[in-house]
Chains A and B, each alone.
Chain A
Amino acid sequence: MSLLRVENVVKYFGGLVAVDNVTFDVPDGGIFGLIGPNGAGKTTVFNLITGNYKLDKGRIVFRDMDITGMLTHRVVALGIARTFQNIRLFSNMSVLENVLAGYHCRMTSGAVAAMLRLPNQRAEERRAVGRAMAELHFTGLGSQAENLAKNLSYGNQRLLEISRALASDPGLIILDEPAGGMNEHETTALVDLILRIRNRGITVMLIEHDMSLVMRACEHIVVLEHGKKIAEGTPEVIKSDPKVIEAYLGSEDDDI
């Protein structure tokens, strides 16, 4: 059964067709890769799924529920979490508070409960801090909890984004170029982390330039070029697909 279905999705930016009639299914429980050259429309597809952009045509279905055009925070509450390609943390807040943001949608206490310091509210706060710390230990940032987010190294900031996304209890986590700016050593650790996320029963969807990472981690890959889907399949199939090779390396005719 597919967890997420993207169906005939079209998105225009002015006259430009950024996403052109793309359809694919993300199977439940695996690691799914969305790849393609720069400007292929990968991040646009992510932004359409998470409701950051409104799609012009098509529909998006998550767990048999139509989430087309739904507001982003509602999509998160339903179980799709994401990270951002250009890191977007709450930079002047502590690492712990950043993770608490992700758990926000699983909490219920409002302003009045906080002002009255009701017992439920206090218990919930405590539970939230516990969960956030657990997520930080999971990504290996446990010792950094009290630091300000902006003081973390680049690689750790990416991990913090992942922790924040995980704290929202997602069924699907969308990672937008998580290895961007990471060295080989950090990338290897990231692959390990992605596998551990999957082992928690969370489906991982990955946008990535780093082909070695995609080939190592993903079980199913969709390739986009100029907003169109040009190939789909396992890493082995994708690696030997002439259209994919052409998209990444240019066809032989181009060299003349």
Chain B
Amino acid sequence: MSFSGKNIRNGIYAAVAVCWIAAPVFLSNYQTDVLNNIAIYALLGLSLNIILGYGGMFHMGHAAFFAIGAYTTAIINTSYGIPVLWLLPLSGITAGVFALVVARPIIHLRGDYLLIVTIGMVEIVRIALVNNIFGITGGPNGIFGIASPQVFGHPINGIVSPGHYFYLLTAFLAFTIAVFYLLEHSRYGRALKYLCSDSIAAEGSGIDTSGYKLSAFVIGAFWAGMVGNLYAGKITFISPESFSFWESVVMFMIVILGGAGSIPGVLLGAILIIGLPEFFQELQQYRLLIFGIALVAMMIFRPQGILPPKPHTYPVDKLDEKEVTL
């Protein structure tokens, strides 16, 4: 069975990966920058997918975690001159700690209730940034002059040479995909899927549902915080506008449209939602209209998303008889 569905699928993934990596060679700087945006949103989508896709929690405030990561990097880099990439883990940690504190009291909320509270959360964060909270966020103007990341002493400027930044983002994206794939097919990933499917049955099977919900928020926020770091390093200037409620909606749509709980689905969702509008620039004013119609149609005809998750197969045949014991 050399042409099984799985092999064909893997072939397609490999072809897409090769095209993606080779793309900047053939594209203009502007077009490469679009790819960079796709990569950023793909990363954000993947991090939201932990919470929304596997865990099934309607979280529409993901931009808040993204913002906290970006501002952590911006503030510390501009004040103390610590290189941007060194701040990558710290940006993740601040966002993760924020998620731990904020998500804890709301974790038991279900469905639309959680949705509304998380919308409130992202708005509060944005307004706090606008109001120059603690006098360190620069208010509505934001923070200028963030350094570009350096790799082995070479600065990688996201504005002047998006082609170089592309490979930085792609490397992080590849790492993220690998790590999240392993997470999805582990005890941890399964626990999130159980509680998404039926939280009472999950709890009754011995799964600490509130603990897992909270940790999903923390991991998703940690990753979004790291993406915030790469984003701040890319555009070197951040302001509260970049982290509005609308950004959260875009991330939410990427996951739902592409396929909640599916890594290929989220990647496709990012390509479609961030990339496609670039092709329809002539249509300008009709863009959102078409977008809206497409979303409504999707929700009616394919609510599970374009590429829903495939069932995982376990190596049952490879087990020895003596491993199958009570």
The complex places the Cα of A84 from the Cα of B193 at a distance, in Å, of: 19
**A101/B194 in contact, CB under 8 A:** yes
- Contacts known (A90-B198, A104-B190, A114-B189); A77 close to B319, Cβ less than 8 A: no
> Of all chain A residues, which has the CB nearest B189?
A114
Complex-state Cα separation, A97 to B207, whole angstroms: 14
Known: A90-B198, A92-B197, A115-B179. A82 touches B323 (CB 8 A): no
Which of A34-42, A60-68, A129-137, A244-252 lies at the interface? A129-137
Q: Tell me if B324 and A134 are in contact (CB < 8 A).
A: yes
Q: How far is the CB of B88 from chain A (nearest CB, A)?
A: 16
Q: Does B125 reach chain A (CB closer than 8 Å)?
A: no
In the assembled complex, the Cα of A200 lies from the Cα of B326 at a distance in Å of: 10
Determine the distance from Cα of A138 to Cα of B324 in the docked complex, in whole angstroms: 11
Q: Is A76 an interface residue (CB 8 A)?
A: yes
Give Cα A113 to B187, complex, Å.
Answer: 10
| Docked complex Cα distance between A148 and B179 (Å) | 26
| Size class of the A contact interface (CB-based, 8 Å) | 35 or more
Nearest A-chain residue to B313, judged by Cβ: A146
Partner of A135, one of B204, B314, B326: B326
B207 and A100 contact, CB distance less than 8 A: no
Say yes or no: A133 contacts B311, CB within 8 Å: no
Give complex CA distance A109, B312 in Å.
19
Find chain B residues with CB under 8 A from A97 CB: 190, 193, 312, 314
Please give the distance in Å from A34's CB to the nearest CB on chain B: 18
Which of chain A's residues 84-113 have a Cβ closer than 8 Å to chain B? 84, 88-94, 96-97, 100-102, 104-105, 107, 109-111, 113
Inter-chain contacts of B183 with A (CB < 8 A) = 111, 114-115
Note all chain B residues with C-beta closer than 8 A to A135: 326
Interface residue? A10 (CB, 8 A): no
Please judge, given known A-B contacts A52-B204, A104-B191, A117-B182, whether A111 and B324 are in contact too, CB under 8 Å: no
B315 and A129 form a contact (CB under 8 A): yes
Q: Check if B316 is an interface residue, CB within 8 A of chain A.
A: yes
Q: A93-B193, A133-B316, A146-B316 are in contact. Are A102 and B205 (CB under 8 A)?
A: yes
Please tell me if B188 contacts chain A, counting CB pairs below 8 Å: yes
Cβ-defined contact, A101 with B190, below 8 A: yes
Q: How far is the CB of B226 from chain A (nearest CB, A)?
A: 13
A126 and B323 form a contact (CB under 8 A): yes
Query: Which among A90, A109, A148, A168 is the interface contact of B206 at CB below 8 angstroms?
Result: A168
Tell me, in angstroms, the Cα distance from A125 to B186 when the chains sit together. Answer: 8
In the assembled complex, the Cα of A137 lies from the Cα of B219 at a distance in Å of 36
Expressed in whole angstroms, the Cα–Cα distance for A30 and B311 within the complex equals 39
Contact with B along A148-179 (1 / 0, CB 8 A): 10000000000000001100100000000000
Check B201 against A84 for contact (C-beta < 8 Å): yes
Q: Is the CB of B209 within 8 A of A114?
A: no
* 16 A-B pairs (CB sep. < 8 Å): A50-B204, A71-B203, A72-B203, A81-B206, A82-B204, A89-B201, A104-B190, A104-B206, A114-B186, A114-B188, A126-B315, A126-B323, A131-B325, A133-B319, A146-B311, A168-B206
